[in-house]
Structure 1
């Protein structure tokens, strides 16, 4: 977590799964970095499927990453190789998003002239 904050020092809030309900971790992050860790918990009363707040963001990201063959199964022997493939897939996703926005901007400029 310390390395994450060194790379991305603008993080203000982290959403964590209900399994990460450690008060010592929450307090440590608040004292060290001034960051809030919000634990998304399941509703104890509700039965069956129900949408948890902000959980969809994590699930959507895993779905996007899972579309890459090297990430849909763990083919790698070393964790660093798997991590590298996650970075590559993330870069590809961001490049596609940037390219799409650029094409839309060019389209709008052409229509305006």
Structure 2
């Protein structure tokens, strides 16, 4: 079921990109992770110490339109960098990856270069900690908000990570 759903999802995203006059595959992705609380029925939950959430973590890479190119669901204790390295196996022909401060480190840049042969840009806030809009980073935040409009995704009620992943494909 997972492979059928993933193929249908990729085909839908490719046709939407093609209708906009773009190539079916993207060369630029924006990457982020979202920690989500789970119910007590969930078997595979972890604890995200940075956000103090017990649950799962959704890893997603989107194109410039906010369309998901790669989605992965892990336990919340999996780091953003490790989650992206697993999710990046579903990406092809990507030349440029934009990430936030949670993905910093030379080892991550080297890993992206090794897996995807892509350039990595880290979009950081300024040191004064004042609010500044980073337009390309807002694309993935907008994608998260689109997904959050689906009531079923506000909180993870699924027992298996695979089921959580499939529920992410439907509203996308």
TM-score by length of 1: 0.67
C-alpha contact (below 8 Å) 1:40/1:53 kept by paired residues = no
Q: Which has the larger radius of gyration?
A: 1
Aligned to 1:15: 98
Higher relative contact order (CA 8 A, sep 6+): 2
Aligned to 1:52: 134
**After TM superposition, what 4+ stretches of structure 1 lie above 2 angstroms from structure 2?**
1-5
Aligned to 1:85: 167
Find the aligned partners of 2:132 and 2:110 in 1 and give their Cα distance.
Answer: 29
Task: Rate the CA distance shift 1:75–1:32 in 2: closer, same or farther, 3 A.
Answer: closer
Superposition CA RMSD, Å:
1.8
* Structure with the higher helix share, 1 or 2: 1
Shift of 1:23: 1.0
Structure 1 stretches lacking a partner, 5+ long: 91-113
TM-score by length of 2: 0.46
Count how many residue pairs are aligned between Structure 1 and Structure 2.
Answer: 88
* Structure with the higher strand share, 1 or 2: 2
Aligned to 2:88: 4
